[in-house]
Amino acid sequence: MKKILVIRNDKIGDFMLAWPAFAMLKESLPEAEITALVPSYTKALAALCPSIDKVLVDCGKDADKLRKKELVTTIKANDFDASICLFSNSYNATLVWKAGIPFRLAPATKISQLLYNHRITQRRSQSAKPEYEYNLDLVRAFLAKIGVEAKEPSAPYLAFPTSEQAAQKTKLAHALAIDEKTPWLYVHAGSGGSANNLSLMQYADLVAGICKKTKVEVVLTAGPGEAKKAAELQALLSIKGIDSVVYDKNDGLQDFTCSIACADAFIAGSTGPLHIAATLDVPTIGFFPAKRSATPLRWRPINSDGHHLAFSPPTDKDKNVAADMSKIHIRAILPDVNAFLARLMES
């Protein structure tokens, strides 16, 4: 297999959870050309991935017929030997089938599975393992089918050159007027509409509890449309006597990713930025609903062992209760949070 197309064309967090799968594929088949099909908003991240050789931008299932036809033509022109759909739906299945890719592997999902000639039963709806493990299982199956031994990857899956990261940290320190030598704690209170999250007051109580134990520079990150929320959290922290800065302006997703690499720890809900931080193996503290489709297990970030701490509401048969993030009591979790951060700061 010389040319392989890997499709993960959904949200940022989902794409970041595919990086171990890309790494396994590249490490196991170093001579193969790995192309990723992604939406336009993850193109910049795909370009950073050391395990991806080429990037194709997906026009999306809602595009007009002409653009979809052009995409099929482009895929055909690349003459791929195989495709691996890490995320399968009727749109993706039709795409690789129309492109005539000889070896088409994907999860066995609904009627669309008939358009693949290699199918792997996964039952992701059971959420029995992390999403990134489901992705790895597909690559393992692909490698087994072509008679290649799988090489297991390890974190971090992305690292910036030391000089580049140092320059970024100095730039941020000047722009935000914070101390380079004090540990930087990033807090991302936005959710991007992708998952339930803590309230701003919960975040304020959490950060205040951390600052009582550990001296840190508190950086409140914000994505598009989230600056107001970050400013509101800054105001709540100020009332509690906690200084913080808002980081809501950057030079694009690659620049933002390099800025995340400068953090000593990253706190957020189950969002894209949390998963970007994990890809860099920046220690993460994540907050997740307890409902089966969104648990800390299913959406566990790809940090190395010991670099991730997760919390969720108490498990309950009532989905509304399981998704009620107000059930996470900050005072109760603070000892674990502070112990986690203290261990990291000391190492």
Residues 53 and 175 in one domain: no
Last residue of a domain, one of 145, 175, 190: 145
The answer to whether residue 153 sits within a structural domain is: no
The answer to whether residue 155 sits within a structural domain is: no
Residue 166 clears pLDDT 90, i.e. is over it:
yes
CATH number at residue 108: 3.40.50.2000
Could you tell me the residue range of the domain that residue 279 belongs to?
Answer: 163-346
Last residue of a domain, one of 145, 173, 194: 145
Predicted pLDDT of residue 316: 66
The answer to whether residue 158 sits within a structural domain is: no
Encode pLDDT of 75-107 as tens digits: 999 999 999 999 899 999 999 999 999 999 999
The answer to whether residue 177 sits within a structural domain is: yes
Predicted pLDDT of residue 317: 66
The answer to whether residue 152 sits within a structural domain is: no
Q: With cut-offs at 50, 70 and 90, classify the pLDDT of residue 293.
A: confident
- Has this prediction a pTM greater than 0.85? yes
Residues 184 and 297 in one domain: yes
The amino acid sitting at 284 is: T
Residues 232 and 291 in one domain: yes
Round the average pLDDT of the chain to a whole number and report it.
Answer: 95
Residues 256 and 131 in one domain: no
The answer to whether residue 121 sits within a structural domain is: yes
The answer to whether residue 156 sits within a structural domain is: no
Structural domains of the chain, count: 2
Q: With cut-offs at 50, 70 and 90, classify the pLDDT of residue 131.
A: very high
Residues 267 and 315 in one domain: yes
Encode pLDDT of 47-84 as tens digits: 999 999 999 999 999 999 999 999 999 999 999 999 99
Predicted pLDDT of residue 143: 98
Predicted pLDDT of residue 319: 65
Q: What is the mean pLDDT of residues 119-143?
A: 94
Last residue of a domain, one of 145, 173, 195: 145
Residues 112 and 260 in one domain: no
Residues 185 and 315 in one domain: yes
The answer to whether residue 39 sits within a structural domain is: yes
Residues 118 and 245 in one domain: no
Encode pLDDT of 301-333 as tens digits: 999 999 999 999 987 666 667 789 999 999 999
Encode pLDDT of 257-269 as tens digits: 999 999 999 999 9
